[in-house]
C-alpha cells in the first residue's frame, strides 16, 4: 500500500483529501503545518509522495519542499495544491513547472489521476 503525506492548514480540505485517498486504498498521513510534515517524513521513511498546500501560515509548501530535499536522501515527489493565485505567480522560489499543480477547489478525478501518475513514476524509478 502506498503511503501519502497530505499537508494543508485548512482542516476541511485536509479531511476531504484524506477521506478520498483512503477510499481509493491509499494510506494517508495528515499534517496541518510544515514542521509536523517534516516530522512525519522523519518518522515514516516509506513516504515518497507528498501533497502540499502552497500558501500556509508560517512556513509555506515551498519551504517544505526545499527542506525535504535538503534533509532527506530519498526521492520524494510533490504535488502542489493552492487556492491562491496561479502557480506562475506564487512560485515561492521554486521552479513550479517541476511539479503537478492543482487549483482549489480540486477536480477530484484529475487529482486522483495525478496521484496515480506519480505513484507509477515512483515505482518505475525504484525498479531501476
SS3 101: strand
Q: Label residue 104 left, alpha or beta by phi (over 0 means left) and psi (-120 to 50 means alpha).
A: beta
Return the CATH number of the domain spanning residue range 3-126: 3.40.50.2300
Q: What is the pLDDT of residues 71-104, one digit of tens each?
A: 999 999 999 998 875 555 455 667 777 889 999 9
Q: What is the pLDDT of residues 49-61, one digit of tens each?
A: 999 998 899 999 9
> Of 83, 85, 84, 33, which Cα lies nearest the Cα of 61?
33
Q: What is the pLDDT of residues 9-21, one digit of tens each?
A: 999 999 999 999 9
Q: What is the pLDDT of residue 125?
A: 84
pTM of the model: 0.92
DSSP 93: T
Domain edges within the chain: 3-126
SS3 103: strand
Contact (CB, 8 A) for 79 and 110: no
Contact (CB, 8 A) for 100 and 114: yes
Amino acid at each position: 500500500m502506498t503511503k501519502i503525506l497530505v499537508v494543508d492548514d485548512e482542516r476541511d480540505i485536509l479531511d476531504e483529501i484524506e477521506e478520498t485517498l483512503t477510499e481509493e486504498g491509499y494510506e494517508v498521513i495528515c499534517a496541518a503545518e510544515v514542521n509536523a510534515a517534516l516530522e512525519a517524513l522523519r518518522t515514516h521513511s516509506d513516504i515518497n509522495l507528498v501533497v502540499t498546500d502552497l500558501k500556509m501560515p508560517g512556513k509555506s509548501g515551498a519551504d517544505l519542499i526545499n527542506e525535504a530535499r535538503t534533509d532527506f536522501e530519498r526521492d520524494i515527489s510533490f504535488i502542489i495544491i493552492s487556492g491562491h493565485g496561479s502557480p506562475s505567480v506564487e512560485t515561492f522560489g521554486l521552479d513550479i513547472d517541476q511539479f503537478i499543480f492543482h487549483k482549489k477547489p480540486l477536480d477530484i478525478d484529475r487529482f486522483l489521476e495525478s496521484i496515480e501518475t506519480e505513484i507509477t513514476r515512483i515505482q518505475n524509478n525504484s525498479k531501476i
